[in-house]
Structure 1
Amino acid sequence: MNATERGIREQFPLWAKADLGGAAPSPGHIQVVVGCGTSVHIADSIAVCLNAHGHQSRAVPGNEWTRRPHDYVPASVKVETIALSRSGESTETVAAARASQSVGQRVTAITCAEGSALCSHADIVVAAETHAEEGIVMTASASLMLLLGMRYAGMTLGTPTIEAARHLLDAADGALPGLIDGRSHFVFLGGGAFYGVAREGALKMQEMSLSQSEAHHPLEYRHGPISLIDERSLVIMMYHPDTLEEESLLAHDLLAKGAKVLGLGGPGTISLPVGGEPGTGPLVCLPVLQLLGEYVARSKNLDTLAPRHLTKVVTIG
């Protein structure tokens, strides 16, 4: 077991320690969630959770928010910014926080690096301890930022969700090697708050295993991308309880076209139940997607501690 896998398997005690510290959205403000790479995918899921719990929100990549904020939110609207960065040093995210503060917006930093540059440009700092061995690829830190963002949205997230995520990872563990055997095309499907996590799953697959991967809302997949499905495909379907019936029909269609399907919360070649408190399914599923990337990398003799062309912190200038 390498350090990447240990970080994935040993993240759950860190979830239990994560503390939001009372941070919460202010009434009457749009919550703009910014980040880069993994963090902007996590931001997408957090924004959905904020909207679902009565706080208007959207996710925006860091440099987009710095350079053209009014393409995303009208100038007349009151805004608070939530900036996500594991290291707190990502150039685009720090710049977005600085730009937000410069026009009087409150900035809440969610990070795994207290005392970082991002923290110096934040009005509220929420810092979580991540796994000591986490390398370039974000695993536990991504889960922690999602967890804290869900709580910021007002969601209840405690021991039942943590235990559900641990149980799902254990249940998926034995099934993953058989599912990936002979597969080189990986598709991640999820609606609502699952969509950002689907994008993160696809990114993990690219970073860790240099594999072809893509992410879509489930019913959008029939509108063109399904043309790529064949016996090389593995589809990870994260079922939303609201749309279980139509997503199940899609899964059966994909199976008929030669794909294998990992059904998280619904039918598939392998079907696994997703537990946890209401709405926490995206977080519960995330460690499984991380472990999947590690297993595919291992099957290709790739070292996830040294992914090609990547560094732990992206800085520019």
Structure 2
Amino acid sequence: DAIALAPLTNSLSYLEDGDWGVIRRGDVQFYDKDHKPVTRPVTQTSQSAIHVDKGNYRHFMAKEIFEQPEVISHTLAKYINPLDGRISIPDFKVDWRELSRVTISACGTAYIAGLVGKYWLEDMAHINVDIDVASEFRYRKAPLSKDSLALFISQSGETADTLAGLRHCRESGLRIASVVNVPESTIARESDFVLPTRAGVEVGVASTKAFTCQLAVMACLAIDAGRARGILDEAKVAAMLRSLESLPGLIHELLRQDEQIEAIAKKLSRSGNILYLGRGTSYPIALEGALKLKEISYIHAEGYAAGELKHGPIALVDEEMPVIVVAPDDRLYEKTLSNLQEVAARGGRIILISSARRCAQNAEDIWAGIAIPDADPFINPILASLPVQLLAYHTAVHMGTDVDQPRNLAKSVTVE
């Protein structure tokens, strides 16, 4: 783990499965699984101890939330060519027109990033996308076609279930791409194509900046696929890239609401159960909001597709139940509004994440509103991620939990 060793060294040798070594003073000899001496190259890691510092923040998680404008900008700079205004993915030798399917596999927050990516790829590129929780992927025994691309997402690049899924796809002859935050990781080394995020070191167990950087990469990938497959014309591509490039400024604007969101979180900290709702690409953000909250505050929370409200979750709604509705001002807003009104009619405490205009229109029905800036609906999932992160963070702080290292959790899950 390069981050764990960062305070000690930036020179690392990565061993292959079955390798072992003999360490002596000033010397190390590696052997392979057949006990034959081998040489493994020494690499200089990009991780550095100087970056692993809270700065002026109380917790790493807060620091990492507020770093998002910068790291998203760095990530986009990796993929958007400023000279021709196009997506440029170095060494990504995939002809999107020849692919029949994309198979995505990931765990936890990375899975949710993949779920947003599924919506984007199917919408922008008109390509079939399967997505699985990596721990279940191999058990489904789905037919895998060699004209498919297997895409794996992992912050650490060491997630055991995701790596096992990668190797399963390798055995089936698929081309392998990975979205990782650690370019020296095992998943990166075993992939045909690596799509790095530039989130920097993420210490907090609950992923924040790595998640939004994963979304930024997935957005670039979807735009590239849509252009290559003839679904997006050059004018549409240019407009979408301008929207992506506007993200750092819009996120800065959102972060100015930190104190307002903290006040809302103080109320949430007195709740025992919380429901999150969303439609379309807001549905994964509802899942992410619930996951973040339960991870670090230990409050039970569930994310649901808003249209599923009447299929069970509405039975939970009463005057004590906070319901966080992720409803950006997009083509699905009116449908989500009907769900909001159903919750209001039953006395639910609604926190609406939408435009300032929509929050004002629903002032009588909601407990609180969090305004996200008016923007291209395409980037709304990234913008809506910030309020759910801040709500989870401030709620956990008020609960007095260990925000950066919540109980029973690890940053990298390296066992199945």
Q: Which residue of 2 aligns with 1:174?
A: 260
Name the CA shift for 1:244/1:25 in 2 (closer, same or farther; >3 Å): farther
Q: Which residue of 2 aligns with 1:231?
A: 319
Name the CA shift for 1:273/1:76 in 2 (closer, same or farther; >3 Å): closer
Q: Which residue of 1 aligns with 2:131?
A: 59
1: CA distance between counterparts of 2:348 and 2:407? 28
CA RMSD, Structure 1 to Structure 2 (Å): 2.1
Shift of 1:176: 4.1
Q: Which residue of 2 aligns with 1:45?
A: 116
Name the CA shift for 1:99/1:75 in 2 (closer, same or farther; >3 Å): closer
**Is 2:229 aligned against 1:158?**
no
Contact 1:160 1:277 in 2 (8 A): no
Contact 1:179 1:234 in 2 (8 A): no
SS in 1 for 2:132: strand
Tell me the amino acid that sits aligned with residue 11 of structure 1.
Q
Name the CA shift for 1:295/1:101 in 2 (closer, same or farther; >3 Å): same
Contact 2:321 2:349 in 1 (8 A): yes
Name the CA shift for 1:136/1:25 in 2 (closer, same or farther; >3 Å): farther
Contact 1:31 1:58 in 2 (8 A): yes
Tell me the amino acid that sits aligned with residue 250 of structure 2.
A
Q: Residues 134-153 of structure 1 correspond to what in structure 2 (within 5 A)?
A: 134-153=203-222
Tell me the amino acid that sits aligned with residue 313 of structure 1.
S
Q: Which residue of 2 aligns with 1:293?
A: 392
1: CA distance between counterparts of 2:176 and 2:145? 18
Q: Which residue of 2 aligns with 1:30?
A: 101
Structure 1 unaligned regions, length at least 5: none
2: CA distance between counterparts of 1:58 and 1:249? 30
Contact 2:323 2:348 in 1 (8 A): yes
**Is 2:294 aligned against 1:206?**
yes
1: CA distance between counterparts of 2:415 and 2:154? 15
2: CA distance between counterparts of 1:75 and 1:131? 34
Q: Which residue of 1 aligns with 2:153?
A: 84
Name the CA shift for 1:238/1:77 in 2 (closer, same or farther; >3 Å): farther
Shift of 1:134: 2.7
2: CA distance between counterparts of 1:118 and 1:289? 29
Q: Which residue of 2 aligns with 1:243?
A: 332
Tell me the amino acid that sits aligned with residue 4 of structure 1.
M
Contact 1:25 1:153 in 2 (8 A): no
Tell me the amino acid that sits aligned with residue 105 of structure 2.
V
Q: Residues 99-114 of structure 1 correspond to what in structure 2 (within 5 A)?
A: 99-114=168-183
Q: Which residue of 2 aligns with 1:259?
A: 348
Tell me the amino acid that sits aligned with residue 62 of structure 1.
A
**Bigger Rg, which one:** 2
Name the CA shift for 1:25/1:111 in 2 (closer, same or farther; >3 Å): farther
Larger mean CA deviation between 37-46 and 243-252 belongs to 243-252
* 1:115-163 alpha-carbon deviations (Å, 9 max, x no partner): 1000122111111222435321111111111111111111535232332
Shift of 1:82: 1.0
Shift of 1:249: 2.3
1: CA distance between counterparts of 2:372 and 2:383? 10
Contact 2:68 2:251 in 1 (8 A): no
Structure 2 unaligned regions, length at least 5: 1-57, 80-87, 224-239
2: CA distance between counterparts of 1:109 and 1:25? 16
Contact 1:134 1:140 in 2 (8 A): no
Q: Which residue of 2 aligns with 1:220?
A: 308
2: CA distance between counterparts of 1:180 and 1:87? 32
Shift of 1:262: 2.2
SS in 2 for 1:109: strand
Q: TM-score, normalised by structure 1?
A: 0.91
Corresponding pairs, count: 314
SS in 1 for 2:73: helix
